[in-house]
């Protein structure tokens, strides 16, 4: 019964007119910045492909699962393009959202090493809500009386700015400007089931060379949405011998994280993360924490090397 009630709560949270509506959440945001800031496109100087999977609150039936796939590349010294796909599932198919984002960036050199990039994205959002899947352990339909939503299409657009040099980066972005409302079948009605709100992101980090083998990178992600508490993620990551990455993270009043990365080659990066809630939800016996895996592959540049150093962001 606890699991069933939690499924209902998760679904209602995602479909009702709550002021705390937010975008998908990532622990390894430092390896997946294009999902939140279009200005990042092309900044790595090579054709880059990254895929990420997140299973949140493992052990809780119907808990959120998120997959992302993106690629981006520079097409000239100043122009970058990319494509991002995000799939978010809550309630084992009860609520499914898919985003398709086309991304464009334009970069202005500030100095010999520093660059300032401006990004735009056009987004197609597909929403599916299947209330028939809200059932208890006797397989009885919950009887919401609400019409399902099938492949509801909504356009959107976003923008961002991203400054970076050899060791420091900072970005500010709004991935979706339009506060899209999804109606319950009657477009003239003032009531709606879901509302996509603007999320504001600030991301920053700095790479310190501790010695010839060790590098240290603290990072910060701040996310703000109208009516919800400010979300703050901080992490501390250490890279050894340009191969192994160990780190820890803290999501303010929410979770503690452990991070591991392996730079298998100049082209392949594997990242793993584990979150443990520090709220009451984390203490429940059926919640085994959240797991995240990311895999990034990068093609060599036409000059046989990357154009940005160090390769820690």
Mean pLDDT for 189-216 is 81
Per-residue pLDDT at 305: 45
Q: How many residues does the chain have?
A: 313
Higher pLDDT, 225 or 4: 225
Among candidate residues 298, 313, 296, 294, the one with its CA nearest the CA of residue 66: 294
Helices (H) and strands (E) in the chain, counts: 1, 17
11-20, 124-133, 134-143, 167-176: least confident range: 11-20
Q: What is the pLDDT of residues 248-264, one digit of tens each?
A: 999 998 899 999 999 99
- Residue 182's contacts (CB-CB under 8 Å, 6 or more residues apart) are 127, 149, 152, 154, 192, 193, 194, 195
* pTM given for the model: 0.81
Among candidate residues 195, 189, 213, the one with its CA nearest the CA of residue 156: 195
- Residue 305's contacts (CB-CB under 8 Å, 6 or more residues apart) are none
Mean pLDDT for 93-105 is 92
Whether the CB-CB separation of 234 and 249 falls below 8 Å is answered with: yes
In a domain, 134, yes or no: yes
Whether 158 has a pLDDT exceeding 50, the answer reads: yes
Range 51-62 burial, b when 16+ CB lie within 10 A, else e? bbebbbbeebeb
Whether 238 has a pLDDT exceeding 70, the answer reads: yes
Whether 136 has a pLDDT exceeding 90, the answer reads: no
Residue with tokens 């895999």: 295
Across 56-65, 153-162, 272-281, which has the greatest mean pLDDT? 153-162
Per-residue pLDDT at 283: 67
In a domain, 306, yes or no: no
- Residue 216's contacts (CB-CB under 8 Å, 6 or more residues apart) are 207, 208, 210, 236, 237, 238, 239
Give how many domains the chain has, as a whole number: 1
In a domain, 311, yes or no: no
In a domain, 304, yes or no: no
In a domain, 12, yes or no: yes
Per-residue pLDDT at 18: 37
In a domain, 62, yes or no: yes
20-29, 70-79, 148-157, 208-217: least confident range: 20-29
Mean pLDDT for 157-170 is 95
CA 215 to CA 217: how far, in whole Å? 7
pLDDT band (50, 70, 90) for residue 6: very low
E-assigned strands of 91-165?
95-109, 115-129, 149-164
Higher pLDDT, 102 or 1: 102
DSSP 3-state of 2: helix
In a domain, 23, yes or no: yes
Q: What is the pLDDT of residues 58-80, one digit of tens each?
A: 888 888 999 999 999 999 999 99
The CATH number given to whatever domain includes residue 220 is 2.40.160.40
Mean pLDDT for 304-310 is 46
Question: Domain of 12?
Answer: 2-298
In a domain, 51, yes or no: yes
CA 132 to CA 146: how far, in whole Å? 10
Per-residue pLDDT at 210: 94
Per-residue pLDDT at 60: 83
Burial of 137 (0-12, 13-18, 19+ CB in 10 A): exposed
Per-residue pLDDT at 193: 53
CA distances from 71 to 22, 34, 138, 172 (A): 24, 9, 44, 20
In sequence order, what are the beta bridge partners of 205?
Answer: 169, 219
Whether 167 has a pLDDT exceeding 50, the answer reads: yes
Per-residue pLDDT at 280: 73
Whether 272 has a pLDDT exceeding 80, the answer reads: yes
Whether 42 has a pLDDT exceeding 90, the answer reads: yes
Radius of gyration of the chain (CA): 20
Whether 237 has a pLDDT exceeding 60, the answer reads: yes
């Amino acid at each position: 019964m606890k699991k069933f009630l939690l499924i209902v709560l998760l679904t209602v949270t995602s479909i009702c007119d709550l002021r705390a509506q937010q975008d998908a959440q990532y622990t390894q945001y430092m390896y997946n910045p294009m999902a939140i800031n279009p200005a990042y496109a092309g900044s790595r100087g090579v054709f880059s492909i990254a895929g990420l999977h997140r299973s949140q609150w493992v052990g809780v039936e119907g808990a959120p699962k998120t997959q992302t796939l993106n690629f981006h590349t520079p097409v000239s010294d100043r122009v970058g393009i990319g494509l991002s796909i995000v799939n978010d599932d809550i309630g084992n198919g009860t609520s499914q959202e898919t985003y398709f984002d086309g991304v464009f960036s334009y970069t202005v050199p500030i100095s010999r090493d520093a660059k300032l990039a401006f990004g735009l994205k056009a987004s197609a959002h597909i929403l599916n809500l299947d209330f028939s899947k809200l059932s208890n352990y006797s397989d009885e339909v919950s009887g919401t009386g609400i019409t399902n939503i099938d492949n509801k299409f909504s356009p959107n657009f976003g923008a961002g700015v991203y400054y970076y040099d050899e060791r420091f980066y900072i970005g500010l972005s709004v991935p979706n400007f339009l506060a899209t409302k999804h109606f319950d079948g009657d477009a003239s009605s003032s009531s709606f089931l879901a509302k996509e709100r603007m999320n504001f992101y600030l991301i920053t980090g700095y790479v310190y060379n501790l010695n010839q083998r060790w590098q240290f990178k603290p990072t910060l992600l701040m996310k703000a949405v109208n009516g919800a508490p400010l979300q703050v993620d901080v992490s501390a990551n250490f890279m050894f011998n340009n191969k192994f990455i160990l780190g820890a993270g803290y999501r303010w009043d929410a979770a503690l994280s452990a991070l591991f990365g392996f730079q298998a080659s100049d082209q392949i990066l594997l990242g793993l993360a584990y979150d443990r809630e520090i709220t009451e939800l984390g203490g429940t016996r059926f919640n085994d924490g959240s797991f995240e895996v990311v895999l990034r592959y990068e093609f060599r540049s036409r000059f046989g090397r990357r154009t940005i150093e160090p390769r820690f962001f």
